[in-house]
Structure 1
Amino acid sequence: MPVDFAFSAMAKRSDRSPASWRRPFNRWLEGVEAGWSVPLLLACFVSVWTLYLSVAYHGAGLHPDVLETWTYGRHFVWGYPKHPPLMGWIAGAWTSVFPLTDWSLQLMAMTNAALALWFVDFIARRFVTGHKRLIVLLLLMLTPAYQFHAQRFNANAVLLAVWPLATYCFLRAFETRAPLWAIAAGVAASLAMLGKYYSIFLVASFVLSAIIHPARRAYLTSSSPWISTAAGLLALCPHLQWLAETGAEPVYYAATHVRADFLTSLQDAANFLLGLAAAVSVSAVTWVLIAGYRIKRLSRDIAASDPNLKLICHVAIGTIVLPVVISVFLCTDLPSLWALQGLFLLAVPVVCSTSYRIERFYTVNAALLVAGIAIVAALIAAPIHALYRNSHGYEEGRSFYHHAADELTRLWHEQMGTPLSIVGGNDSLGLAVAFYSSDHPHYGDPFAYQYSLALPHEVTPERGWAALCFDDQYDCIEWTERMAAQAGSYLRREFFVQSSLFGIPGVKRKLVAFLVAPSSSLANDVGAGKISADRIMESQNLFVLMR
């Protein structure tokens, strides 16, 4: 007989006569169909993991990807230079309501992850009831996608919620062939494309799974797929027009991932599969412990499952196989984190296809495992991480963002007496100053060393600008100094910044600042006493010496 990893006898006894400490959890399981158990789970998820982020990154700034997303969202347009616009739209809408603080954007990231799990539950409830729905969510919470991947709210993380929403709408459109669901499916698919062009693999998987479905004739001969196509293209029209008018910058940025080395691309494809396997490893082991000897029924259960559940299984296969094939064919790189938003496509068929009853014993144990990991992370791992980073720092310099922004703003006000409106130089520092400075200057072309984003029309170089580089970034310093010299009078300042955590001094680093005075109003400002004549003379002397 196979070993019973599931401890089925213990599980049955526990369900018949649960221990007193299990009874509150059992009441929670009973509330799934009543409608309060899943919201409670998601609220606890958001609370604990937002606390983790607040503690783990206390004293440090937000990840540059998050700052970039916020920078995009400062202005509503139909596209941005590096990525499609959805992530910027969401950040812009969020910060129009919530304050510009670290905890606010951390809450946004975790809310996005919770919304993703909520949409996954929409799919799961089509096939199962009761606490099996919770098992799907708990298994996904054991992956890194909904905490660590989600906290970097960027073009990848925004797909966490959009992919399950698009899948649910496609499933309903396929099932009902109703016009409203067809429109919803098309619009949701276009949202996925507006999140990241990688979503083309999801849309292609929808098409392929519909073609091989037993009910394909009824669906394909109905108006539903054509309504979806028309609605999706209509929703994409403004972005497509923007691409045509601006030279399709995001497409060219995506093309930078194309390589000429076939073997490297093949290795990346293998690492892509290994990365996904690693991401689901804890969930897979947990599921094996739940299923026990019943795990041998998995293939048979999936084969005998609801045809529409197999539809989701085929979508899952498509979103894994298609990227691998295309990547090897085009010789591109393929990080596994690009596909983490699709892990739900694996969890739903595995759990929802089970033909046997799953005892509450296992669901409670899975919930305890998820809760235990989250609590240990928030109360133990987070402070350790914060202490470690305070003394060792981050590669991108997150430990210094707050101090760098404050010091540059202070220098600018001291020298120029006007609000800082433009910041340039190093990407991560420039984005950080834009976010953390009390002036919230704009960051982008032509003052950014590498970053590509047009400044608003009302923000002109004549208003003056400042730039920051780390002292060991010689290319950034040389390029910025040339820009400053071409602009006219400028000051160069060097200063140290040091991280600090609850008064504990940490790593220290040197920064180089360039301050270019407002050109059109320079004389007026001298006359008004905003900028002293001595400072202007000092900046002009420096300008002559540096040239």
Structure 2
Amino acid sequence: MGRLSPTTLITVALLAHVFVWTIYPVLTQENLSTSGDMAENFAWGREWQLGYFKHPPLFAWVTAAWFTILPRADWAYFLLSAVNTAIGLLGVYMLVGLYDRGARRIASVLLLAITPLYGFMAIKFNANSILLAIWPWFAFVFLKAIERPTIVNGALVGVLAGLAMMGKYFSGVLLIAAAVVVLMRPDRWRILLSPAAVAVVIAGLAVFGPHLWWLFHHDFGPFAYAGEHRAATTGRYLLYIVKFPLSQLAWQLPMLLAILAILPREKRAALKEVFSFADPSRRAMLVLWIVPFLAAYGLGIVAKAELSSVWGLPLWFLSVWAILSVPGIVDADVNLRRLVAIVVIYYAGLIASTPAIYGVQALTQGKILFKPERELAEEVGRIWTETTGTPLRLVGGLDSNAHPVVFYTKSPVSEMVELDYARSPWITPGRVDREGLAIVCCASGDRCQTLARERFGPGLIERPIVLARRIWGVEGKPYRWVLMMRPPKSGN
């Protein structure tokens, strides 16, 4: 475009993406309350386990490593989310570059960047969003390896496959697609019997093996957790079946509309050939685009799973290229100037809208402004220290109440997940005796309080906590908790 080289244009676009998607949540959110996942990630990651009761450990490790470098602040977390998506977009650029180095390559990145998948949905860094960064790079090294099945290329495939599975087991649907690509090739046996195939297995086990060992020694806990999330009724099962594909289409709608805007009117008819497998160089990319969705959808239906819409976050990294690579559309058909204008207007609109979004949330008392998570951490620490005379070291609770205390307390605090030793192997009864335990429960409802008294009473010291935030002169509704304290035992 003009004097800018493709590399320069993509570099500027990715830097702008990171800037916008760091600034936007900073200007519209006051805490991490929209995502218990993010504070939970940090609480898990600081323990550096080989696995956790819900998920494999990669996203928690990444979070912990990130905050060994950057301060424990919301803006730093949002920056991590933005960098994560930018890494994924760069992977798409490299992947498409295996087949196309013109305008369609640039469009494959810029059009993805304006979808909610790489923006609003990706603000929440968790087991789903980390796959946005990994899947395109896996596809890149995989397609290189099947053309040149060397030991090095095979090892890279194994490493990326292991990392994908360490992010979330959902990545298995991508590995299914990769297997289909290999089996469709006439030279499949050359690939399957090559040194690259051996390297894939060895490198993959080197990365995923320690977690696999953990799974065997923890009764495959994450699988049991996943098994608990099945559709409770036939009605909900049917709702998931309908909602999942429709949500995937809805998230890609901005990209689809933008494609129509940047193509000549007479070329739009060619888009009906999007599922054409005639071109061998395009076939593998289409399989990597279509099969993961079909596998996820089919397995979800068979397992009667709660087909959560956010599972689809990583599925669509090839959507733009699959559409723009149809027979009959060439690089010259892509209006890059119009595309860049669309992206600039979109980013500028996001930033310009932040005061209005903040104001609406202030007027409606949205919890991402008014929930006093930092204040809760400070109050828990203050009451604990005044009551016990010791620094806060252990906190627990249900329903994400303890997560913000771990994240926002500046001194190191470990969390007892769900008040359960089995889910928190880094905490033992002896450690609770030595360091004590602060339990944060909602004031309404007694499940947390009852469980705390059963497992750690009698002798718990209870204190009510009532906190409210004031923003723009608006007094927020009060949030109420009960702090239940098991002080350290004397002599420990």
Fold shared per TM-score above 0.5: yes
Q: Secondary structure at the match of 1:286?
A: helix
- How far 1:403 sits from its partner (Å)? 1.1
1:27 equivalent to 2:3? Answer: yes
- How far 1:358 sits from its partner (Å)? 4.2
The one of 162, 165, 182 aligned to 1:190 = 162
Larger deviation, residues 346-355 vs 72-81? 346-355
Task: Give me the whole-angstrom Cα distance separating, in 2, the residues matched to 1:379 and 1:371.
Answer: 12
| Residue in structure 1 matched with residue 479 of structure 2 by the alignment | 509
The one of 213, 233, 239 aligned to 2:205 = 233
Alignment of 1:260-409 (within 5 A): 261=233, 264-291=236-263, 292-298=265-271, 300=273, 303=276, 306-353=279-326, 355-359=328-332, 362-380=335-353, 382-393=354-365, 399-409=371-381
- Cα deviation 1:147-206 (Å, max 9, x = unaligned): 122111111011011111111111111111122111111111111111111111110111
Unpaired segments of 5 or more residues in structure 2?
none
| Residue in structure 1 matched with residue 466 of structure 2 by the alignment | 496
1:518 equivalent to 2:491? Answer: no
The one-letter amino acid of 2:426's match is L
Task: Give me the whole-angstrom Cα distance separating, in 2, the residues matched to 1:456 and 1:223.
Answer: 44
CA-atom RMSD, angstroms? 2.6
| Residue in structure 1 matched with residue 22 of structure 2 by the alignment | 50
- How far 1:424 sits from its partner (Å)? 1.5
Task: Give me the whole-angstrom Cα distance separating, in 2, the residues matched to 1:89 and 1:174.
Answer: 31
Percent identity between the aligned chains?
A: 26
Task: Give me the whole-angstrom Cα distance separating, in 2, the residues matched to 1:470 and 1:267.
Answer: 31
Cα 1:215–1:84 shift into 2, 3 Å = same
Alignment of 1:414-493 (within 5 A): 414-445=386-417, 447=419, 452-456=423-427, 459-486=431-458, 488=459, 490-493=460-463
Task: Give me the whole-angstrom Cα distance separating, in 1, the residues matched to 2:149 and 2:250.
Answer: 38
The one of 244, 250, 258 aligned to 2:222 = 250
Larger deviation, residues 36-45 vs 105-114? 36-45
Contact 2:182 2:188 (C-alpha < 8 Å) held by counterparts = yes
Contact 2:104 2:321 (C-alpha < 8 Å) held by counterparts = no
The one-letter amino acid of 1:140's match is L
Cα 1:417–1:117 shift into 2, 3 Å = same
Cα 1:259–1:79 shift into 2, 3 Å = same
Task: Give me the whole-angstrom Cα distance separating, in 1, the residues matched to 2:432 and 2:456.
Answer: 15
Contact 1:201 1:323 (C-alpha < 8 Å) held by counterparts = yes
Task: Give me the whole-angstrom Cα distance separating, in 2, the residues matched to 1:201 and 1:59.
Answer: 34
The one-letter amino acid of 2:306's match is D
Task: Give me the whole-angstrom Cα distance separating, in 1, the residues matched to 2:286 and 2:27.
Answer: 38
Cα 1:263–1:425 shift into 2, 3 Å = closer
- Cα deviation 1:351-401 (Å, max 9, x = unaligned): 244544445882222222222222222232x33333343454556997221
Task: Give me the whole-angstrom Cα distance separating, in 1, the residues matched to 2:53 and 2:160.
Answer: 23
1:209 equivalent to 2:181? Answer: yes
Bigger Cα Rg: 1
- How far 1:266 sits from its partner (Å)? 4.1
Unpaired segments of 5 or more residues in structure 1?
1-24, 523-547
Contact 2:240 2:306 (C-alpha < 8 Å) held by counterparts = yes
Contact 1:389 1:399 (C-alpha < 8 Å) held by counterparts = no
Task: Give me the whole-angstrom Cα distance separating, in 2, the residues matched to 1:113 and 1:427.
Answer: 28
1:132 equivalent to 2:108? Answer: no
The one-letter amino acid of 1:337's match is V
Cα 1:301–1:62 shift into 2, 3 Å = closer
The one-letter amino acid of 2:490's match is S
- How far 1:313 sits from its partner (Å)? 0.4
Contact 2:161 2:204 (C-alpha < 8 Å) held by counterparts = yes
| Residue in structure 2 matched with residue 529 of structure 1 by the alignment | none
Task: Give me the whole-angstrom Cα distance separating, in 2, the residues matched to 1:481 and 1:389.
Answer: 37
- How far 1:346 sits from its partner (Å)? 2.0
The one-letter amino acid of 1:349's match is A
The one-letter amino acid of 1:162's match is I
Task: Give me the whole-angstrom Cα distance separating, in 2, the residues matched to 1:397 and 1:301.
Answer: 44
The one-letter amino acid of 1:498's match is A
